[in-house]
Amino acid sequence: MSLGADDTLKIRSFVDGEFIDPATGQWLDNYDPAVGEVYSQVANSPASDVDRAVAAATRASRDWSRLSVEQRANHLLRIAEGIRSRADELARAECRDSGKPLKLARDLEIPRAAQNFGFFAGLIHGMSTAAHDSPVGLNVTLAQPFGVGGTISPWNLPLYLFTWKVAPALAAGNCVVAKPSELTPLTAAMLGEICIEVGLPHGVLNIVQGSGQVTGQALVEHPGIRAISFTGGTATGAKIAASAAPRFKKLSLELGGKNPNLIFADCDFDKMLATTFRSSFQNQGQICLCGSRILVESSIYDRFMAAFLMMVHKAKVGDPLDEANDLGAVVSQAHQQKILSAIDTAAAEGGRILAGGHAVSVPGRCERGWFVAPTVIDNLDQSCCTNQREIFGPVVTVQPFRDADHAIELANAVPYGLSATVWTANLNRALRVAENIEAGVVWVNGWLIRDLRTPFGGVKESGVGREGGIDALEFWTQKKNVCFCR
Ligand code: TXE
């Protein structure tokens, strides 16, 4: 990264250990969503830059895949340390690039980015090789890396999700060509600087910056990349799957969600209320795990609504640098418009907007930023558009349910199946509900508790494949059986 001739910050691709200009000379404007202004430019790397990155990764992969587990783990640990040593700077960069509250980036996301490398550095020590003996042969099953892996990550948790994909791919012995979102490219570029600082061999991690249509598509189509891990919207996931299928690439797709939050009358009300506020509005609702459909047992519906609305009305939306604010800006003007138009649709469908429902103007430095008030809507049927489509903003709907069966029916009546939250003191019921909910992740009496050893992913239109723990290392390797014949 450096300043261009016009003094604008230029965010370049990182290829073979150095930062390069896009071969076509094309740059995209990059905005600070909290102030609504361009503050840098990001390379829109064409297919030829992706070629360069894949060639560098292919060269590097010979040595990288032959390193001992300790040597590879040490490189990952040095990256983790490099992230920690620049944590404050990274958190500020993430806040500026995405509009998210600084405290969220600083306390959760950047520490987790470092932890992703540390975790997989540890986990590879436990990778084992299976052997099956018989009178006619001894079979040894090798788990071999692909050579070069591709990763495509979104803008909502930029460095957190970028590293969540890159770390296991590298740990398993692959070199990587990684594409961050063009809306939030900055911290990935800083990670490139960290790779230089900690002496990661050239070509092991390459970061191609650019749009999905240009750079992302080139990465998906590249014959040198045999496995791709993607997190983003369901529509983009479908496009990627359609490009990858005829090329027989291995895919992991983490897509959207429309997650239910099931609240039974016997729950710990105060804990549920505080957590439900977070699961609704953390990161302005732009987390695939946010619970955007709140389902409440009828007997406590009025009590819940009164208490929840009081919290929502008190919530502070504003400058993400100000620690007193609960919500920052949404990621872009286009995304703000998408959220506001989803709220209009909800009103047209007969929804009652009980809180929010509008953009927020923030005086001072952020007066032109893109903010949306936390919004609560009820009086909508499960089948309406609002309750079916992902909004990915600070917008939740609330619906009453009669009993557990009704709650499960409502929970499952969407095309998605990423996560769910169940609030009840009755653990038998919690287990039955959890077993019957169509989701890859279910929390009982909590939310967003993530143990990196556990599998993470969705069912139905929320994706295919699992990330996390040993599942991630399995994704990034392919099995080869070698039979020593007797
Ligand atoms: O994401 P995209 P968008 C959902 C959310 C949001 C919607 C659209 O509902 O409103 O998706 O968001 C790259 N080939 N989520 O359009 O397009 C792109 O450059 C290869 C849920 O911003 O999915 C970026 O790096 N790559 C979600 C990444 O895909 C392509 C997080 C994600 O962008 C590509 C984000 C292509 N043809 C949005 N087109 C979650 N699951 O957490 C785009 N990309």
Q: Any idea which residues carry the catalytic annotation?
A: 254, 288
From 274, 295, 310, 249, select the one nearest 397 (Cα to Cα).
Answer: 295
**CA quadruple 384, 388, 392, 394: dihedral sign:** positive
Q: For ligand 1, atom 18, which residue shows the shortest CA distance? A: 212
Query: For all residues of the chain together, what is the average pLDDT?
Result: 97
Q: How confident is the model at residue 438 (pLDDT cuts 50, 70, 90)?
A: very high
Q: How confident is the model at residue 472 (pLDDT cuts 50, 70, 90)?
A: very high
Q: Where are the domains of the chain?
A: 2-255+462-485, 260-453
Q: Encode pLDDT of 23-80 as tens digits.
A: 999 999 999 999 999 999 999 999 999 999 999 999 999 999 999 999 999 999 999 9
Q: Encode pLDDT of 222-236 as tens digits.
A: 999 999 999 999 999
Could you tell me the fold of the domain covering 2-255+462-485?
Aldehyde Dehydrogenase; Chain A, domain 1 (3.40.605)
On the question of pLDDT at 144 being above 90, the answer is: yes
Cα 230 to middle of ligand 1, angstroms: 9
Q: For ligand 1, atom 11, which residue shows the shortest CA distance? A: 233
Q: Encode pLDDT of 350-397 as tens digits.
A: 999 999 999 999 999 999 999 999 999 999 999 999 999 999 999 999
CATH number at 260-453? 3.40.309.10
Cα 232 to middle of ligand 1, angstroms: 4
Q: How confident is the model at residue 85 (pLDDT cuts 50, 70, 90)?
A: very high
Ligand 1 site-directed mutation target among 98, 236, 287, 462, most atoms within 8 Å of CB: 236
Q: In whole angstroms, give the CA distance from residue 132 to residue 159.
A: 41
What pLDDT, on a 0 to 100 scale, did the predictor assign at position 5? 54
> What is the arrangement of strands in the sheet containing 130-134, beginning at the earlier edge strand?
130-134, 137-145, 477-485
> Could you give the percent of the chain with pLDDT greater than 70?
99
> Would 2-255+462-485 and 260-453 be classified into the same CATH topology?
no
